Amino acid sequence: MEFVICGSWRGLLGKGLAERELSCLLAVAAGHTDKEIAQRDGLSPRSIKGRIESAMHKLGIYKRPALVAEAFRRGLISPLLIAMCAILVGQSATSDNPLSRIRRPGERRVETRVAVRRIEAAQTV
């Protein structure tokens, strides 16, 4: 699967939208205007408006906020932060490092060290 990234948003190609329509949709989700998108892509604002309207027509939505919400609901776009969190959670679950794994009941070593440092810092003040 191929992805398109714009700002803090990631879009999935091959789910009904063309690459340029998806790119414009991601820019709209990131809060850019037609003029800003046009300057970035080297096109006219009218061309950008046409691409966004084409995406709206394909999804059956005719307002920009609703377009972003519907694309998010269908899984066409997602915030990049969510994708990065999923990767980090997956890595921590498979990691052998005892400090980076999720603590189980009875493992209080890290919490004890932090509590002792807090007490020491409070006593020095």
34-50 per-residue burial string, b: 16 or more CB within 10 A, e: under 16: beebbeeeebeeebbee
Both tokens of residue 79? Answer: 């915030």
Could you tell me the domains of the chain? 3-80 (1.10.10.10)
Q: Does the pLDDT value for residue 7 go beyond 80? A: no
pLDDT value of position 78: 82
Q: Would the pTM of this model clear 0.85, i.e. be above it?
A: no
Secondary structure element (H or E) that encloses residue 78, with its range? strand 77-79
Q: Which 8-state DSSP code applies to residue 82? A: H
For 36-90, how does the pLDDT look when each residue is reduced to its tens digit (9 = 90+)?
999 998 999 999 999 999 999 999 998 998 998 898 888 888 887 665 666 666 6
